[in-house]
């Protein structure tokens, strides 16, 4: 459990706009251990989504020779080409967003199996695994349904299953319960936590469960994590 899955150091991010620059991250650093659950809290506009997008290679930090985003099994993500980063995202990182981001024209099995299509070596049993994950999140009786035929909480369960389909090492969740009522939100978090821990069994692999990095405004959710960090003035504080 003590090995680091991610070690990010000296991340800076400034948005340059015609009206002036906004410095959002200012020497942001974060280490996450294998299987660890970390919550990031902070005021609206403090840069939580920006940080998650950079850690997940969806956005780039400012150019700075000191910046390192070391993904243990890969190396420094900031040095990789866009194609390689896309592959790493598909293979090693699961994403859960506040607004689900599901494909409306596909049924939920195909939605969950979709990240498998981005792999270099696709798993021929991805659909079977998608079905197993959907059963595990309580949607085994809705497999033929499309996302818009489901409630918000059900759609987020699909997104959780999708985040786990490729057995990632890290899950990045940006306010995963932000659009849900408190009870539904808590149920989603319980599913995310328990399924992450059970993933090696479901996938029949010896891998460690994924680490979770969750941005949340909800104290109860943050308290379910091993550590709570506050993003303030561009850096994380205990």
Ligand X SMILES: Nc1ncnc2c1ncn2[C@@H]1O[C@H](COP(=O)(O)OP(=O)(O)OP(=O)(O)O)[C@@H](O)[C@H]1O
Q: What are the residues binding ligand X (CB under 6 A)? A: 15, 17, 22, 24, 42, 44-50
Site string for Mg ion, 18-57 (x = CB under 5 A): -------------------------------x--------
Give whichever of 49 and 156 is closer to Mg ion, judged by the CB atom.
Answer: 49
- Closest contact distance (angstroms) between CB of 83 and ligand X is 23
Give whichever of 49 and 177 is closer to ligand X, judged by the CB atom.
Answer: 49
Interacting partner of 45 out of ligand X, Mg ion, none (Cβ under 5 to 8 A depending on kind): ligand X
- Closest contact distance (angstroms) between CB of 47 and Mg ion is 8
Give whichever of 119 and 235 is closer to ligand X, judged by the CB atom.
Answer: 235
* Cα–Cα distance, 76 to 61 (Å, whole number): 13
Torsion sign across C-alpha atoms 112, 118, 120, 124 = positive
Give whichever of 34 and 49 is closer to Mg ion, judged by the CB atom.
Answer: 49
- Closest contact distance (angstroms) between CB of 182 and ligand X is 17
What Rg, from alpha-carbon coordinates, does the chain have? 17
- Closest contact distance (angstroms) between CB of 48 and Mg ion is 5
Residues 61 and 13 sit within 8 Å (Cβ to Cβ): yes
Interacting partner of 15 out of ligand X, Mg ion, none (Cβ under 5 to 8 A depending on kind): ligand X
Give whichever of 46 and 67 is closer to ligand X, judged by the CB atom.
Answer: 46
- Closest contact distance (angstroms) between CB of 38 and ligand X is 16
Interacting partner of 42 out of Mg ion, ligand X, none (Cβ under 5 to 8 A depending on kind): ligand X
- Closest contact distance (angstroms) between CB of 175 and ligand X is 6
- The reply to whether 111 sits near Mg ion by the rule CB under 5 A is no
Structure tokens at 121: 């070596």
Residues 78 and 68 sit within 8 Å (Cβ to Cβ): yes
Give whichever of 49 and 116 is closer to Mg ion, judged by the CB atom.
Answer: 49
Q: Give me the residues that bind Mg ion (CB under 5 A), please.
A: 49
């Amino acid at each position: 459990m003590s090995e680091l899955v991610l070690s990010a150091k000296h991340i800076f991010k400034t948005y340059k706009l015609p009206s002036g620059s906004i410095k959002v991250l200012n020497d942001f650093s974060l280490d996450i251990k294998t299987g660890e659950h970390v919550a990031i809290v902070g005021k609206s506009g403090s840069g939580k989504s920006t940080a998650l997008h950079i850690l997940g290679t969806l956005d780039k930090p400012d150019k700075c020779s000191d910046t390192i985003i070391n993904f243990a099994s890969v190396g420094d993500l900031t040095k990789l080409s866009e194609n390689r980063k896309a592959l790493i995202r598909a293979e090693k990182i699961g994403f859960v967003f506040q607004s689900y981001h599901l494909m409306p024209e596909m049924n939920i099995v195909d939605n969950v199996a979709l990240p498998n299509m981005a792999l270099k070596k696709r798993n021929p049993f991805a659909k079977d695994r998608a079905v197993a994950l959907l059963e595990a999140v309580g949607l085994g009786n809705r497999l033929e349904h499309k996302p818009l035929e489901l409630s918000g909480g059900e759609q987020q369960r699909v997104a959780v299953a999708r985040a786990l389909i490729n057995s990632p090492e890290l899950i990045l969740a940006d306010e995963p319960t932000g659009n849900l009522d408190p009870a539904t939100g808590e149920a989603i978090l319980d599913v995310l936590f328990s399924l992450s821990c059970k993933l090696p069994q479901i996938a029949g692999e010896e891998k460690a469960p994924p680490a979770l990095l969750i941005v949340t405004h909800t104290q109860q959710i943050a308290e379910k994590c091993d550590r709570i960090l506050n993003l303030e003035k561009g850096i994380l504080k205990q």
